[in-house]
Amino acid sequence: MLKIGLTGNIGSGKTTVSKVFELLGIPVFYADDAAKNVMVNDPVLIEAIKATFGKLSYFEDGSLNRKHIANIVFNDADELIKLNALVHPATFRAFDEWVRNVKNDAPYVLKEAALLFESDSYKMCDYSIMVQSPLETRIQRVMKRDNLTRAEVEGRNAKQFTEERKSGLADYIIINDEVQLVIPQVLKLHDEFLSLGH
């Protein structure tokens, strides 16, 4: 079964693109959701996070103290690297498990991940797609969606590879600039992946 990675920088619309693939019957693994899931369900990972970031990383009920973690990792690049080094392998395991459980009639699967290239998880995929969108458009989308300031969005964007770098690594590009239509671009890739899958 073909595995296709899908990524894009913050606010690029990669989730919207993923939803279009889902409408075509393609199973989508949302790596960011899976990462949040393993952080509260993977006992090995939970212990590692507590050992690295302190007992305050989790509340009494076992839920993740996101604010505590965010305050550490978003203010120190080295701490973010440490967190990713713990979470990414657990997410990779979750992806492998998910692929094993996908129905065999799916022609291919999609892995949607913000850090597809940064985490090297694109190497687990046969092909990769980059969703591109102008920086200003992305900033405005995220400010509106997440109720963040421009500086906060720019700070998060700066933690990702540049669009240029990601585009150089991607096999396919989808432009989501609110001018070009996304659905015809997805349909074209869908047809291509169907033929590659056979």
- Classified by CATH at the fold level, domain 1-27+108-198 comes out as Rossmann fold (3.40.50)
Segment 22-77, tens digit of pLDDT? 999 999 999 999 999 999 999 999 999 999 999 999 999 999 999 999 999 988 88
Do the domains 33-101 and 1-27+108-198 match in fold? Answer: yes
Cα separation, 156 vs 159, whole angstroms: 5
User: pTM here?
Assistant: 0.89
- Helices (H), ranges, the chain: 14-23, 31-41, 43-53, 66-73, 77-101, 135-146, 150-158, 163-169, 182-197
Q: Which of 141, 137, 130 is nearest to 177 (CA)?
A: 137
Give the residue carrying structure tokens 């458009």. Answer: 137
Whether 119 has a pLDDT exceeding 80, the answer reads yes
Domain ranges of the chain: 1-27+108-198, 33-101
3-state SS, residue 197 = helix
> For position 100, what pLDDT does the model report?
92
Average pLDDT, the chain: 94
- Classified by CATH at the fold level, domain 33-101 comes out as Rossmann fold (3.40.50)
For residues 117 and 168, the answer to whether their CB atoms sit within 8 Å is no
3-state SS, residue 126 = coil
Segment 68-113, tens digit of pLDDT? 999 999 888 899 999 999 999 999 999 999 999 997 788 999 999 9
Whether 198 has a pLDDT exceeding 80, the answer reads no
Torsion of CA 97, 101, 107, 111, to 10 degrees: -30
